[in-house]
Chain A
Amino acid sequence: MRTIETVFVSLTLALTALGFVGAYLMHFPPPLSVELPVEPYESAFGVPWRYLVALYVFLVLLGTAAIASAGEVLHIKEIEVIVKDAVVIAILSIIVGLITIAFDLERIERAGYATLGHANPTSVMYWMIMFYILELIFLIVESWFYFRSDLVKQSELKGVKGAVGKILSLRFIGDYIQNRYFTSSALNKLAKYLTTRDKSIDSEVARSIGIVALITAVLAYSNLGALFAASYIPLWHDAITPIYFVVTAIFGGAAILVIATIVTSWATSSKEKLSALPVLRKILSVSLAIALLFTAWRAVIVGYPGVNNFAAISVANLMFGSYALNFWIVEVLLGMVIPIFLLLLRGNSIKVLLTSSVLVIAGVFTYRFDFIFAGQVVKNISGLSLPTPPHPFELMFILGALALVTFAYYAVYKLLPMEVEHAS
């Protein structure tokens, strides 16, 4: 076990470092390096949104936040045991997603312009940035209340974990107030709250913030869909896209939670979190079935003759052209149909559930890339080589970003009280 852990940590850290090297080289390519692929795109060269945008969409649309908040708001007991994991994964994936999209900017040093100072409220992208930042803030506050009582307990330990507990629970502020003997009763109440465990208050507050976080999450997911739908790209341009994005976020989130629950239960030799699996299986099955229905009708509506010739071309390209293999085999068959059958027939088996979830993640990962590329390629003049392979630097970054999320999740497990017995 110890050896596996060492290999895991070394590998994820090495890949993360590789990712940042890739990001740097993307912006400052060495003179003799292979140039980024040049493809004609009317007056421009290259498809403007490439692999980093697809990766960003994949990361920020892992809807674990919505599942966690919905579970808390609706008092689903089975979800409550994994609520910390769900919120942590959501926070990490959104942070790494935002880092990813920042590196996709041509002028990364101006990324701050998109938050304040240059706001354009008519831009869907501006609202996307706002919603994701708000969601991140709500999730961090929500998770603080989930963790607080356990952090207070952890602060009594010695060493790094104790220090982390003291800082993150804000107990050091409570201790400071108590040591100063302030006369203000409000301050003394605050000090008492910060230094003692009180799960009843924490749970109630977390639940209230969860409602806001849930609404913000749904707004953010659908807004991202609207960002694509509002473009002059026929494959993206329909009213289903925002709702479709919410559905894909939910099954993507459910699948990643199944994988995280099974892997962490195995790694920590604890079976308590496995009680969440039956509910996750239901969420996964239902959302996959809805997504399959959406996929079918979307193809019919967008590709129907007599509506928009460009749209028909893009759907034909996706279903029968360069992306047919990805679409039919990876996205539909492996990513949706087989998992639905597996979940319905043998979903009680942990191995089958894990296999289904891995297939779903592979499918949704491929879907994000196909959606981005197959949408844009219809605008090009000609000569675009399809499917466009990732540039080595892009590949380095993708591996690095995924490794960063994984390592950060591992680090959270090492430093924060993630155990079920501490959960509310």
Chain B
Amino acid sequence: MHRREFLKSVITLPFIPGFRIVIPSGRSREMVETGPAKKYAMVIDVDKCIGCGKCVIACKTENHVPMEAPVSRTWIEGYLDDKKLVMNTDENPFLKSKASKGFFVPKLCNHCANAPCVNVCPVYARFHTKEGIVLVDKETCIGCKYCITACPYGATFVHPEEKVTDKCTFCYHRLRKGLLPACVVVCPTGARKFGPLEEGSEVYDLIKKNRTTVLKPEAGTYPRVFYINLDTVVEL
């Protein structure tokens, strides 16, 4: 926002009802919101994640999240025994540890079927696409940050440059071109798998043949990110 726009908006009292009447959904939004389609999901095998952080770098590059900003659409949490660690420290806590177990949990927006962020947004800037993916309408978001407090997974943040809320989109722009999300493509161990939830697909088989769980099932959000071999301690 330019300074002139800022001052103009302050002077013209933006709270007066009807001050700005905007068409709620643009043509592009209508196209992604309606109609039958495959529902997509991501499956993450925790045992395969080595915490290399390539997914974070790929995601930031692909989605224009500044590399130096302490925010990310996807991030990796490290755990030693039952202790959650911050992974952006200068020291690698895993090297000195005498803990009996350690593992990494990649996290991202869970694209909940019953998404709290969609419900709480006062301006309907969050919505489900026909594929069940939760997107942010960046031209509508006012930056009230209610979605950040409402999200049980802490998966949304204010974009440091765009000044609207941002989060994982399952790389929707790539998906529409038939490409996989950037984090899935770059993962060197294949810990992340992505695809339609339909019989015969890879993610469908992984969910069917493995013991999977979702994060914070008690929240009743019905996430579309499934975890294999996840220690329940991460629910803390």
Residues of A within 8 A of B (CB): 24, 27-28, 38, 40-45, 48-49, 98, 102, 104-120, 122-126, 129, 133, 227, 230-233, 309, 376, 379, 381-383
Instruction: Provide the bound-state CA to CA distance between A230 and B21, in Å.
Output: 28
Given contacts A116-B18, A118-B125, A231-B150, contact A106 B84 (CB under 8 A): no
Residues of B within 8 A of A115 (CB): 15-19
A116 touches B21 (CB 8 A): yes
B5 touches A109 (CB 8 A): yes
Instruction: Provide the bound-state CA to CA distance between A118 and B6, in Å.
Output: 20
Segment 151-165 of B: residues with Cβ below 8 Å from A = 151-158, 163-165
B142 touches A41 (CB 8 A): no
Residues of A within 8 A of B158 (CB): 44, 48, 106
Q: List 29 A-B contacts (CB under 8 A).
A: A24-B6, A42-B107, A43-B73, A43-B167, A44-B148, A44-B154, A44-B157, A48-B158, A107-B142, A109-B5, A110-B140, A111-B9, A112-B19, A112-B20, A114-B142, A115-B17, A115-B19, A116-B20, A116-B21, A117-B20, A122-B120, A123-B121, A125-B122, A125-B144, A125-B146, A126-B123, A129-B122, A230-B120, A309-B236
Given contacts A116-B17, A379-B154, contact A108 B10 (CB under 8 A): yes
Would you give the 0/1 interface string for B56-90, flagging 1 where the beta carbon is closer than 8 Å to chain A?
A: 00000000000001111111010000001110000
A261, chain B: closest CB distance, angstroms: 30
B24 touches A117 (CB 8 A): yes
Given contacts A42-B153, A108-B10, A232-B219, contact A48 B145 (CB under 8 A): yes
A45 touches B14 (CB 8 A): no
Residues of B within 8 A of A (CB): 1, 3, 5-6, 8-10, 14-24, 69-75, 77, 84-86, 107, 116, 119-125, 140-146, 148-158, 163-165, 167, 219, 236
Given contacts A105-B143, A106-B145, A113-B140, contact A230 B150 (CB under 8 A): yes
> How would you classify the secondary structure of chain B's contact residues: helix, strand, loop or mixed?
loop
B149 touches A49 (CB 8 A): yes
A263, chain B: closest CB distance, angstroms: 29
A120 touches B6 (CB 8 A): no
Residues of B within 8 A of A124 (CB): 120
Instruction: Provide the bound-state CA to CA distance between A27 and B5, in Å.
Output: 12
Determine the residue in chain A with the shortest Cβ distance to B89.
Answer: A383
Q: Which residue of A27, A43, A110, A379 is within 8 Å of B75 (Cβ)?
A: A43
B15 touches A98 (CB 8 A): yes
Given contacts A28-B6, A117-B20, contact A48 B119 (CB under 8 A): no
Determine the residue in chain B with the shortest Cβ distance to A124.
Answer: B120
Instruction: Provide the bound-state CA to CA distance between A117 and B123, in Å.
Output: 8
